[in-house]
Structure 1
């Protein structure tokens, strides 16, 4: 009886893994790759996961905090606790990359990249601590620096690696007409908006990616303002900062 109960729990846990992995939005379908016998590049997998998937998913070791899709650490925690190996999780994630049964966009990653992403997710999911060695430096840490307006122009670029962050967290400017430019070199779409202390939006730039620039023209007075990305889940995941006008 105990063995039957254990098997039942394991089957249920495996179904939970499949269901969770099916929601791995931001990783897309590709065709015909067999994960067996493939050598995965975890460094490349982490880089591609952050660039392609981090806008939607939280994965602590990758440093991503997207909340549009499921938290991947939480999604696989029970299955790992129940004894499923990470090779099994890798296979399930890869299967969902090949044959998504959710609203994932198609063909964002494919071929060996899909193998690498699946391997990294399986390696990192619900694992304490931080990545070590080459994995630790695979992706640049989102900057917490500051920018200063010059000549009425302020540059606040999006993180070029696709993380949900700008390259600075604070900025300063003098009162008057101000142009805010936010270049986005990543493939993850972003924009930039500015709001006053009471939350009123003063202006919003267009959504851009692949090197485009989102631009806001505003007139500011002394005080504190918030700049942020308006795309769903991006601000909530940390894509915002403070502008101080003197």
Structure 2
């Protein structure tokens, strides 16, 4: 395989939104192992000569390396829709996108998110019949809050320094009922 093709394949795997590349390469490795075992058990002279042995070893090494590379490049939190996923050293997003449970449950769509330090946008979508907001605090200090809305979308901005924050709904007892999460600012 040409080095340019390897780099292109690696960037394709890194940009993948799911673990599918890992599953495909892992399945190929498993199929190769089963085929080798079955063929080797029925053909005692397998592999034929040093060249055949080298080919079997090379193919196995490439499949193992591919599976390991795909595992590393596709690792991460699949449930983190609002979380910026740095790929290839890219910086986290400067937008925190959160949504309330549209069925009226007291929860956001994510419990953990990451944004870049600096001027950040907080975009909150609430399709729920209950009024909610997003409040961001560090310790006991509130550093940002959206408007309280229902069946609407609101946006606000905040200047966030690197660190760990909590985001929560400040309406009634929503936070105590579990409507909160952790925000990491890098």
TM-score by length of 1: 0.39
Quick check: 2:93–2:116 contact (8 Å CA) kept in 1? no
Quick check: 1:193–1:216 contact (8 Å CA) kept in 2? no
Q: Tell whether 2:83 aligns with 1:148.
A: yes
Aligned to 1:201: 142
Q: Which secondary structure state, in structure 1, belongs to the residue aligned with residue 111 of structure 2?
A: strand
Structure ranking higher on relative contact order (CA contacts 8 Å, 6+ apart): 1
Q: Which secondary structure state, in structure 1, belongs to the residue aligned with residue 148 of structure 2?
A: coil
| Deviation for aligned residue 1:209 | 0.8
Q: Which secondary structure state, in structure 2, belongs to the residue aligned with residue 214 of structure 1?
A: strand
Aligned ranges 1:45-194 → 2 under 5 Å: 145-146=79-80, 147-149=82-84, 151-194=93-136
Taking the aligned partners of 1:237 and 1:214, their CA distance within structure 2 comes to 23
1:30-61 Cα distance to aligned partner (Å, 9 max, x none):
xxxxxxxxxxxxxxxxxxxxxxxxxxxxxxxx
Taking the aligned partners of 1:242 and 1:214, their CA distance within structure 2 comes to 20
Taking the aligned partners of 1:214 and 1:227, their CA distance within structure 2 comes to 15
Taking the aligned partners of 2:94 and 2:175, their CA distance within structure 1 comes to 25
Taking the aligned partners of 1:179 and 1:216, their CA distance within structure 2 comes to 6
Quick check: 1:192–1:214 contact (8 Å CA) kept in 2? no
Quick check: 1:145–1:170 contact (8 Å CA) kept in 2? no
Aligned match for 1:220, one of 153, 160, 165: 160
| Deviation for aligned residue 1:151 | 4.7
| Deviation for aligned residue 1:172 | 0.4
The higher radius of gyration belongs to 2
- Which ranges of structure 2 fall in alignment gaps of 5 or more residues? 1-77, 85-91
Compute the RMSD of aligned alpha carbons. 1.7
Count residues in correspondence.
Answer: 101
Taking the aligned partners of 1:241 and 1:199, their CA distance within structure 2 comes to 15
- Which ranges of structure 1 fall in alignment gaps of 5 or more residues? 1-143
Q: Which secondary structure state, in structure 1, belongs to the residue aligned with residue 105 of structure 2?
A: coil
TM-score by length of 2: 0.51
